Structure 1
């Protein structure tokens, strides 16, 4: 039977209702002409989603994600693409009475459409604290009575401000659809209900079975149609897809494993890469990384003794190659960097090489997943170790094959953190070498966590901590000093931190562009990481960026910090508040490092900076060009003070 009203239209509307109490859903429905809203405090997982095209309904399936139908967020058959919404979109959730003040009203920061169904996930700017997400239930069965909820039109109200729900009988189950009929209970789905949940109650807990898709709209205000049947789009079998796209907690691997090693042929054909060439390699299902449920990996990328200056760029296979490099190497040196990279649709990554003959090594140190792991927290950059002065350790270099143990928790990183996010600077190296790092007391990890060159090399790292918050570094090179600053940490569980919001690599600034000038001595660069990148103001608490320093004229370093109040009365220029990240040496072509940083937030306090803005300061007596790329961001963890 062809449905003449093929889709539930957007717009303020809702459906005829049944009364519910708590999590118990009654199968007794009132007539459409006698619609009653749901009791206060019930169906809080049902949301209203709205943009300039109109309004629909949705369901909270994760503290920071709702699911709805794709048609709700587009018009004219235009596809919904992965990433920030093309028009401002908001979600109201945890509030069954739209005139009340409870619950949350939040911006949508990203959309993930299903590849083959009329289903889309919408990411919220922060967790919907106090609202329990609805879990997925089993497939519907013929004759079963299920409840439908939504903020759509009723029989008597064009724009209702209260949530309603009603009982429907299941009349058929298809591969991707469920048909339902509200005739026996005088209920109907109306305009504005599209995307709302079809719910079963099992052991007192609601379960999501399907979303409202198409309806005859019999009994709805201003409709002459009498049929009350509707077609729902199934979501009961989309658990893996929803999980894979809604949580990005970090799981560290110990030891790390090689995804690509062109010296031995691991991951791809053996042999150095020369000229401009792209090498594809597997990232999922190898080296300890699960085959499913992984959205990104944290890798160490190493260029090994290039014959001329060279650079590498790592990116998801099948995606456009980013404009910026992941790693730059000078002739003859072995150098590494750390990067978080989204995984391509086939579970593969690509590395592009440009330059002289170079072997390439890519080790995976951890991955982001919906299962287990821990959430991320950015902290003010804090110097905790300096072997030159004895800060956090004994004074003196770490000799060849020597080790040193550091305690990193107890200050800005709380006890119980599973991993620390660091900037590590190797100082006074007379030649190249590398470092191992492992949780103190655990099995040693023989893989390199950082390859360094002569002089000073700094790199952003993630290191695993023991239960006592300790990490042991082993030096596989000449005697060197270590200087370590904290940038963030991985909490013990996903609930204790924020999930990483992955982006395609977005170049925020390149000071060389359009004939731009380098940063001068004590020169400042203020960057807005939200705005043009589609991230709502004040949604971001921390960011994951890569910083590349190019053609420095003298030795020096950068500081990266959230926008705020800075002192400018010093005759020597702005006061340096933060420890170094990205140390550079005169004559180096380029150096790239991963940085985790807090960003400006408007908390209503004196001294707040501009939301989403960071400051980069050149602490040197010369000039340096800077390239900054955004790889991901995370919001304020639930329950944590501003």
Structure 2
């Protein structure tokens, strides 16, 4: 068998400055109050509502214009919620007005006849500044104190959240940062809360405060040093048990906060620092509302932990999340203890302690936790018994994602759609040009390469890297590209054959590499992309599932390759050590079989050929710049060694496919001379290769010089002459160049056929 020959057609077809990803300049800044301020007290009618809340009742409360909250422009409030005199074990739920009670929300659990025990909560507000409160059982009074609010727009004197490594700020039981002495009854303790990881100009500091050694149930209030103590409270605590609460405190100009003990007995107090809020709207991470339950009662044994994905969900990017606001609930604990929560991949902090609980008492607490690797946090049950863990998201904090630079001369992608009645399927093309415009090409007739309709569809968006093309069952084309903001954007034809497009849809992500898209066996398209840590994420690109889910750590160094196999989608990538790694995303949603396929010094994006029976051949650039390959045996096992495919030195990444004409694996590469070169198997399944030859020749077999500036792409196609395949690339003038292989079932020398 001799080399494949291509026939020429051609065409050629520019992006605004990249926009920064989400940041606090878009709103979500925090405004702390100088002291907790009473907004609701159903015992005396503060807040406009009087009397106990009965079983199954929902009450609407207005915060706009009261308790330090502005009349307009507040998207959420940070409050201290205290149930008073509950007649039955109950749960209080809080959510924005104007919407049905969601399945996940801020919950506060309390037992019957409990003394006042408060919970800090981050509660979203409706546009009119209202929220709803639901009481599940019995009757109960409710007291709510406001600690601060989040804004819908950026403004002066306020900013976003900055997480810091967890550390002990002070502890009266050990003398860290303060005297080793309990706080006397009705006395106060003033501490320095800025310094170290918290700058002197911090607008507020987020602490986890633990009250212990309590001999008389009461409350604690935190105010800036020298400030007046308003009516509100910061923490209500119970005699005989430790009480913890996430607390945001506003420091004085000297960076100090005073804690007032209202109890008739002494208390011990300790605080751990988790982050701070800036005073500048262009700094820190802005709050974004989001609500969902991500863990629903998982049981943890003593000292066991659970890794919980919190980034990539609810519209959050896979990267670009500074912290997530969580409501942690300890359900039916059998021992004394607390939760410890920290970023996955970071050392376990000895200081962390959320949601202190006691046997058979369900408790909730707010925590602001920074996600770690894989967008996960680790939550540990530090107790003597089992406990059921519930985790509800109350919102997240958006930090800037590094913009992605426009990459010049990335490859063109192409595929042929299904037939439309008696007509053969149209061919679709897409690429990102050298200034970031996303260009789409539509070839309605596969026999007329000269009639490709090229159009720029990116509008004012800028893109980077090769896009992905997906064909739907009804013949519509979907283009998925990586915006320079690092999010994936998707656009779909309004109908098959229509020149019109739906608006761009943001699929999120915040990832540094462009996607690889493949279809599950049922036809569902799935996008895969890697983050800067080498972790692979996936997202469905159609339907209602908007989550970015962690697949696993492949230690990826760049772009992925993905192909449909019998049981799902097989993903491949070169890792940072120059070996090839793979994992299988199953139709059931699992990511399994993660392993190394060996190699050293491999580079680029692997090409994948799928033989009948879903047997895979991999083709990749080797350590010396030549092409190497390996193929599965009939049992699905890859050999240890990589086999060379000749000695031609290449640029970039190879392209490969199973020829629909000959049934042999065919390879096309860009040589160091920028010309395209090709080879293929000498026979079906032989695994031996013809000599490399120039891929582009004229009708009498003489090489055509048509230097490529991009890696080539090959794809199968059918036209009036029958099944064949084609190659597309761009030249140095940024013009797409299209060649096709003349069908030759006799396996003799193919000749270039001019195409009108």
Confirm or deny that 1:484 pairs with 2:256: no
1 CA distance for matches of 2:346 and 2:128? 46
1:75 aligns to what? Answer: none
2:199 aligns to what? Answer: 414
2 CA distance for matches of 1:263 and 1:423? 29
Partner residue of 1:334 out of 116, 132, 139: 116
1:215 aligns to what? Answer: none
Confirm or deny that 1:463 pairs with 2:243: no
Using the TM superposition, give the Cα deviation of residue 297 of structure 1 relative to its aligned residue in structure 2, in angstroms: 1.2
TM-score (norm 1): 0.57
Q: 2:289 touches 2:395 (CA, 8 Å); kept in 1?
A: yes
Unaligned runs of 5+ in 2: 1-12, 403-531, 534-756
Partner residue of 1:614 out of 356, 374, 377: 377
Q: 1:379 touches 1:597 (CA, 8 Å); kept in 2?
A: no
1 CA distance for matches of 2:107 and 2:278? 27
Confirm or deny that 1:353 pairs with 2:135: yes
1:297-336 maps to which residues of 2 (within 5 A)? 297-322=77-102, 323-330=104-111, 331-336=113-118
Q: 1:418 touches 1:492 (CA, 8 Å); kept in 2?
A: yes
Q: 1:418 touches 1:466 (CA, 8 Å); kept in 2?
A: no
2 CA distance for matches of 1:400 and 1:305? 24
Q: What root-mean-square deviation, in Å, do the aligned CA atoms of Structure 1 and Structure 2 show?
A: 2.4
Using the TM superposition, give the Cα deviation of residue 332 of structure 1 relative to its aligned residue in structure 2, in angstroms: 3.2
Confirm or deny that 1:558 pairs with 2:339: yes
The 1:252/1:382 distance shift into structure 2, 3 A limit, reads: same
Using the TM superposition, give the Cα deviation of residue 405 of structure 1 relative to its aligned residue in structure 2, in angstroms: 0.7
1:382-531 maps to which residues of 2 (within 5 A)? 382-454=167-239, 455-477=241-263, 478-503=265-290, 505-512=291-298, 518-531=299-312
Q: 1:497 touches 1:638 (CA, 8 Å); kept in 2?
A: no
1 CA distance for matches of 2:49 and 2:254? 42
1 CA distance for matches of 2:213 and 2:178? 18
TM-score (norm 2): 0.49
**1:282-322, CA deviations, whole angstroms, 9 ceiling, x for partnerless residues?**
11122221111221111111101212222211111112323
Choose 1 or 2 for highest CA Rg.
2
2:369 aligns to what? Answer: 597
2 CA distance for matches of 1:324 and 1:638? 28
2:315 aligns to what? Answer: 534
Unaligned runs of 5+ in 1: 1-34, 45-92, 95-103, 105-123, 128-242, 513-517, 567-574, 601-608
Using the TM superposition, give the Cα deviation of residue 409 of structure 1 relative to its aligned residue in structure 2, in angstroms: 1.3
2 CA distance for matches of 1:545 and 1:565? 19
2 CA distance for matches of 1:299 and 1:344? 16
3-state SS, counterpart of residue 279 of structure 1 = strand
1:210 aligns to what? Answer: none
**1:438-465, CA deviations, whole angstroms, 9 ceiling, x for partnerless residues?**
0012223342111111211111111111
3-state SS, counterpart of residue 444 of structure 1 = coil
1:286 aligns to what? Answer: 66
**1:35-60, CA deviations, whole angstroms, 9 ceiling, x for partnerless residues?**
9x79xxxx64xxxxxxxxxxxxxxxx
Q: 2:319 touches 2:401 (CA, 8 Å); kept in 1?
A: no
Structure 1 segments (4+ residues) deviating >6 Å: none
Using the TM superposition, give the Cα deviation of residue 533 of structure 1 relative to its aligned residue in structure 2, in angstroms: 2.6
3-state SS, counterpart of residue 117 of structure 2 = strand
1 CA distance for matches of 2:98 and 2:386? 37
1 CA distance for matches of 2:182 and 2:36? 26
Q: 1:543 touches 1:597 (CA, 8 Å); kept in 2?
A: yes
The 1:456/1:536 distance shift into structure 2, 3 A limit, reads: same
Number of corresponding residues = 385
2 CA distance for matches of 1:544 and 1:317? 20
1:49 aligns to what? Answer: none
1 CA distance for matches of 2:317 and 2:30? 24
The 1:635/1:269 distance shift into structure 2, 3 A limit, reads: closer
1:96-245 maps to which residues of 2 (within 5 A)? 124-125=21-22
Q: 2:207 touches 2:275 (CA, 8 Å); kept in 1?
A: yes
Q: 1:498 touches 1:635 (CA, 8 Å); kept in 2?
A: yes
2 CA distance for matches of 1:576 and 1:424? 16
Partner residue of 1:582 out of 355, 379, 404: 355
**1:46-90, CA deviations, whole angstroms, 9 ceiling, x for partnerless residues?**
xxxxxxxxxxxxxxxxxxxxxxxxxxxxxxxxxxxxxxxxxxxxx
2 CA distance for matches of 1:614 and 1:387? 29
**1:236-264, CA deviations, whole angstroms, 9 ceiling, x for partnerless residues?**
xxxxxxx9xx3010111234333321111
